Amino acid sequence: MLSLLLILTACSSNADIHETRFIMGTLVEFTIAGSEQSRSDLAISEAAAEMQRIEDAFTIYGDVKNAVKAFNASPAGMPMELPVEVARLLTTSLLVQQQSHGAFHPALGTLNLLWGFSGQPTPSHHPSDSAIIQAIPSRLCIRHADNNTWLRINNRCRLDFGAIAKGYAIDRGMDILKKHGIRNAIINAGGDIRLIGSHSGQAWRIGLRHPRNKGQVLGTLALSGDISIVTSGDYERYFIQDGKRYHHILDPQNGWPATASQSATVIADRAALADAWSTALFVQGAAGLNDLQKKGYAAMAVDQAGKMHFNKAMQSIFLPAGKTQQ
Ligand code: AMP
Ligand code: MG
């Protein structure tokens, strides 16, 4: 559960600074290379606080009060003003929904609450057919009224930023590390990663988790610069009922866990986009790879049979497990 992508330790040196915090329901690992301890400590503390703030601002669970929950409780059809930050992430989410032909849906909160995957404990039984049908959101669910004012079309439409907020938090965390002058770092939030710079002059090596064999990797990627890599997988939150796996990534068309993939990985400049698109690609399966190629995002999907599918951009950088770099 903890590390969905593994940062390979082989390339770590003693000079690296590692810190782990529990944020957004997962262990967030900060790795900083080539920077003094005091500067790194301060940067990590501030980044972690900002990531916690974002979790509190976007979650629709727990006791914390926020504008997203208030919006979800607002009367359907009545415009309500959203904070600029929420409106901005909503706009990005709606664009991904449109461009993924509905595979990504930012307002399936009612459906997600029904399944219960985001609460504790993990559910053990699927909801009834009729309950699912009644919770499926229509494609057009949230409407922009004007400026920062938005409205819900009906009561099935409840914002759920679960598939993008973690990536956004990582982006904000990395902005803060950069502001403190950090040049080489990784933020890894349970497999959702943004990295900058390099490690002792060499690319960071990132392992992609095997969706079925815990502790094994499918392959590795050597990445440097300023880039994000995010994986969505059916092994993150799931239960087995009558021999069948039910997991937390839902197909907005039919309301059931999406069946095209075991995992999907997307590389993009910003972690929010890699996060949203990895969820979308998971739902679309290999059929979504080409569109991502056109957007310039490297991507791969592991289908239900465990077969890996790559777009060209990913094919050219993916090093399968067992092979060594030339
Ligand atoms: P991720 O782990 O990033 O793939 O996000 C999964 C989380 O996003 C779930 O726990 C839900 O909160 C939400 N979610 C599930 N299915 C979808 C979907 N098709 N589109 C957008 N958000 C989703
Ligand atoms: Mg996601």
Q: What is the pLDDT of residue 227?
A: 98
What are the structure tokens assigned to 239, written together?
A: 């239960």
Longest Cα–Cα distance of the chain, Å, equals 60
Instruction: Name all residues whose Cβ lies below 6 A of ligand 1.
Output: 104-105, 108, 112, 117-118, 160, 162-163, 232, 236, 248-250, 252, 275, 279, 283
pTM (2 decimals)?
0.95
- β-pair partners for 20: 29
Distance between CA atoms of residues 230 and 242, nearest Å: 31
Q: What is the pLDDT of residue 324?
A: 55
List the chain pLDDT tens, one digit each, 326 residues. 334 455 554 344 447 999 999 999 899 999 999 999 999 999 999 999 999 999 999 999 999 999 999 999 999 999 999 999 999 999 999 999 999 999 999 999 999 999 999 888 889 999 999 999 999 999 999 999 998 899 999 999 999 999 999 999 999 999 999 999 999 999 999 999 999 999 999 999 999 999 999 999 999 999 999 999 999 999 999 999 999 999 999 999 999 999 999 999 999 999 999 999 999 999 999 999 999 999 999 999 999 999 999 999 999 999 999 865 54
300 within 8 A of 311, measured Cβ to Cβ = yes
Q: 18 — phi, psi (to 5°)?
A: -115, 135
Q: What is the pLDDT of residue 325?
A: 54
Between strands 217-223 and 204-209, the pairing is antiparallel
Q: What is the pLDDT of residue 199?
A: 93
> Can you tell me which atom of ligand 1 is nearest the CA of 236?
2
- The per-residue b/e assignment along 144-158, b for 16 or more CB within 10 angstroms, e otherwise, is eeeebebbbeeebbb
> Can you tell me which atom of ligand 1 is nearest the CA of 117?
10
Q: What is the pLDDT of residue 120?
A: 83
CA dihedral sign of residues 187, 189, 190, 193: negative
What are the structure tokens assigned to 177, written together?
A: 């590390």
Ligand 1 center to 275 CA (angstroms): 9
Q: What is the pLDDT of residue 136?
A: 98
Mutate to test the pocket of ligand 1, among 113, 265, 266, 279 (most ligand atoms within 8 A of CB): 279
3-state secondary structure the chain: CCCCEEECHHHCCCCCEEEEEEECCEEEEEEECCCCHHHHHHHHHHHHHHHHHHHHHHCCCCCCCCHHHHHHHCCCCCCEECCHHHHHHHHHHHHHHHHCCCCCCCCEHHHHHHHCCCCCCCCCCCCCHHHHHHHCCCCCCEEEEECCEEEECCCCCECCCCCCHHHHHHHHHHHHHHHCCCCCEEEEECCEEEEEECECCECEEEEEECCCCCCCEEEEEEECEEEEEEEEECCCCEEEECCEEEECCECCCCCCECCCEEEEEEEECCHHHHHHHHHHHHHHHHHHHHHHHHHCCEEEEEECCCCEEECHHHHCCCEECCCCCC
Q: What is the pLDDT of residue 180?
A: 98
Ligand 1 center to 313 CA (angstroms): 25
> Can you tell me which atom of ligand 1 is nearest the CA of 275?
3
